[in-house]
Amino acid sequence: MGAPLIAEQADRFRVRLAEDERLQRGIEAAHALAVSGDLQRRARELAAERPPSLERERQLARSGAALGSARAQRYASARAARARERGYARLEDYYRERYVRAGATLDQLAVELACHESAVRGDLKRFGLGPDRGRSHGARWNASKRGRLPGPI
């Protein structure tokens, strides 16, 4: 039942395609857009305007969380490896010695571990070691303005 109807529609479309100049011009314009890459760009723009389905949002959240966690773990492993290169058994031991005992700043630790200061701050929070807001650049600057620290920072 369905196949003869589809064949009949296809025949009607072939006739229309051969005779209808607007249809021919539209197909030529679409072909030119496809060849230039503009058709795909426009399709991406339109897709970005449409909100994703609820299931797609959930899927993206799951995969994004997994990717983010894996990436964070790789970076944490790299920081731990750099701490071992400096002679510490664990990253926490490195922070205890350098930050708590020696008084190194977040900036200094970030340089030593070749990472961003926010990663150091997150590690310190995770290990329950800080960060000590009294040692921040802003705290030191405010203290110098009130005359508690000698000279400019």
Instruction: Looking at the structure, tell me whether residues 41 and 96 fall in a common domain.
Output: no
Task: Examine the pLDDT at 4 and tell me if it is beyond 50.
Answer: yes
Residue 65 in any domain: the answer is: no
**Does 118 fall in a domain?**
yes
The answer to whether position 61 is within a domain reads no
Q: Are residues 40 and 79 in the same domain?
A: no
Q: What is the pTM of this model?
A: 0.51
Task: Indicate if 140 and 83 belong to the same structural domain.
Answer: yes
Q: Determine, yes or no, domain membership for 124.
A: yes
- CA nearest neighbour of 134 among 106, 115, 98, 102: 106
On whether both 80 and 29 belong to a single domain, the answer is no
User: Do residue 38 and residue 94 come from a single domain?
Assistant: no
Q: Assess contact for 87 and 97: CB atoms under 8 A.
A: no
Residue 11 maps to a domain? yes
| Contact present, 94 and 83 (Cβ < 8 Å) | yes
- Name the domain count of the chain: 2
Band (153; pLDDT cuts 50, 70, 90): very low
Which residue range is the domain that position 101 belongs to?
75-145
Cβ neighbours of residue 30 under 8 Å, at least 6 residues apart? Answer: 39
- Answer yes or no: are the C-beta atoms of 88 and 97 closer than 8 Å: yes
Contact 83, 53 (CB under 8 A): no
User: Measured between alpha carbons, how far is 37 from 151 in angstroms, rounded to an integer?
Assistant: 61
Asked if residue 95 lies in contact with residue 131, where contact means CB atoms within 8 angstroms, the answer is: no
Q: 42-46, 54-58, 141-145: which range is least confident on average?
A: 141-145
